[in-house]
Chains A and B, each alone.
Chain A
């Protein structure tokens, strides 16, 4: 018996050693192959590593961030966002006018722009791109067609470089939609026809970079478009590499195999900075919030919701939970979104008032549901957030029970509505304030998780959507923020920052608040 035990340990030890050796062997085999692009790099190649392959490179047929990052460097839309905010600026359209009734948008297009396949960009191309995403041509795979072009009635070609888009109802957010990286970018009609209405693997746009090849699971190679209508890109080659494992991606950056990575969180920051690489931090277009179920007897009254919110020290919570990589949210809207109003204040932390208020409302037990995984707006996971809030409530004598679910199940539970409090978040699509503020007026309880139905608020949302961009519209969103904050429907918690890391040799990239990275002006200095 003793002998056999010894034999077993020997075998196990051998197995371990062999595995370890195999691991080493695999690594050393991999290294030269992996370094190849970096070696060719010096100054004319920039390598960006992300966690996964894009789903595809046809802007009308994808809905993921991995695709989006590549797409924005190949294609352009009629409009683009300001590099610092989500205000719209001219891109393929030089200027635009909106009819008085807010229904007709006329765009004057840039002349002399050519697609990568040599065909001309003109009004017909715009019509072709929008028409393919309108009924009857629109298909189910076009995830963003409804969101971006849902309010479009038709597209009229006025002349070669003028196009008018008619809407069915006034929708000021439509302009912001046209700057999005999904659905809105203009694809070469010739390429679409050749590709049977799909350019998933054969993208042809007007952007600063042209598509070269896509090695699935490995990389996508782009090369500078020398015939670009504007200033050509500064770096000749751009390679997007796909490294699924977070720590492997960090290692690749620290080894100098890649120049920039995304998809990182606070836990690897030290690893990156201690290797001499730099961290990029930007505000993110998101909101991480706690919602009261306004249909439960517990929280149907404003006083109860306010008292509960008073128990929570959001400042302390956000600082220690997110370790500086999220900002305390005083508003639902991120600061850079038009309509942001700095005078909006949420319920103040006041444990004494909370204690009294909760006692008066007779609240002693609260049922919370939350999610177990990290989300882009909540890197610490819903469980950590809920447990922290449970801790604050325990201090004022309220017992919270927390039911935790994986994300998919969680969404079902939210739909079912059996909760007093739930945790959720929103990632902005188009940078228009309506995209955030209409959540609270949505009849769908999976969007409006507070299940709050307030006719006054719903009317405010509807009115603001029709107002033209400008001070009046922005003020309207400020009013809506105050209306919601006063009633404590949500407790906005934080806006998560976007984190990326890059080598010190890299400069000139634009990491936009929409999460896209524009590489036109990126430069990699020689070491």
Chain B
């Protein structure tokens, strides 16, 4: 059995540009346990990492200028998402038809859209939607993916086969296509978009977690945990998963960016929010006819999406470097 598992560890998730990242985090996940010394107490409690490990990570992250700027940007986004609705200069859903498609000015910093709504206010208000969807979708994918991946990796055998083949089937279909299909089945709305995006990204997490668990569970300390008679659940959640945590954090950070992108894509296709709720992708989609006539209607929501996705990606990269002892910037 272990031989079969070993061979499947080497399977490479293949899905466009993401496969590269997944690949790297994957490889790093295997490497991670080597870089640390598991310490056991007599009372069986397990110290995840020496304390200064976190400090060192922070130092590494701080040394990475791009990641640091991204972190600040992401924190700013979070603040905007929380207080956004109270600081918009205009009501983001108030139309003013006589003032439609006005270029940026002192009154309307980002101009107005087809219905005379203030684009600056809408971009601000849209932050909450994008971040919420990103976080919720990733939470869904993460929890389900971790549980499925952990079960598959730890149990092995036919359980593993069934779970992972289902994941493979999901991976075989382009995620955005699968999300659109799910939306068609579930109906429109931002809540449905969260579910759709969350569901389609489960396989990525499941694969990463499973791969890590396969390698971690071969370690002596897991064998030791078995010997002292710990339950499977306790071994998985207390001893195996914490070792895969860094990989999961990195993946989740990157996952938020792709979830935001997917939300925007669904919004662009008109499957996201119900009008007139502001959402970046939806704003882009509705303004695309005005690309020559009133480019500002596309520019600002487009920039918001780009900047946010870029920030999460850079932060994710920085985190990965920081969490990987070997790639850490000293």
Contacts and interface: CB of A to CB of B under 8 A. Distances in A.
Bound pair (A, B): yes
A387 B292 contact: no
A271 B17 CA distance: 37
Interface string A497-517: 000000000000000000000
Interface string A1-21: 100110010000000000000
Contacts of A319: 97
Given A320-B116, A321-B114, A394-B93, A404 B98 contact: no
Interface string B110-142: 000011110000000000000000000000000
Given A267-B290, A403-B188, A321 B97 contact: yes
B114 A404 contact: no
A394 B90 CA distance: 14
A394 B270 CA distance: 22
27 contacts: A1-B24, A4-B20, A265-B289, A270-B292, A270-B293, A313-B97, A316-B97, A319-B97, A320-B100, A320-B114, A321-B100, A321-B114, A321-B115, A383-B275, A384-B114, A384-B286, A386-B275, A387-B275, A388-B115, A390-B95, A390-B275, A390-B276, A391-B95, A391-B97, A391-B117, A402-B276, A403-B188
Given A265-B289, A267-B292, A402 B274 contact: yes
Nearest to B95: A391
B115 A404 contact: no
Nearest to A1: B24
B79 interface: no
Contacts of B293: 266-267, 270
Contacts of A372: 270
Contacts, number: 77
A377 B293 CA distance: 21
Nearest to B99: A320
A273 interface: no
A380 interface: yes
A380 B286 CA distance: 9
Given A372-B270, A404-B270, A5 B20 contact: yes
Interface string B289-311: 11111000000000000000000
A320 B102 CA distance: 11
Interface of B: 17, 20, 24, 93-98, 100-101, 114-117, 188, 270, 274-276, 286, 289-293, 327
B317 to A, nearest CB: 9
Interface residues of A, number: 32
Given A388-B115, A402-B275, A320 B94 contact: no
Interface of A is mostly: helix
Nearest to B28: A1
Contacts of A391: 93-97, 115-117, 276
Nearest to B100: A320
B281 to A, nearest CB: 14
A404 B275 contact: yes
B275 A267 contact: no
B115 A8 contact: no
A320 B293 CA distance: 13
B1 to A, nearest CB: 31
B95 A388 contact: yes
A403 B275 CA distance: 8
Interface in A201-246: none
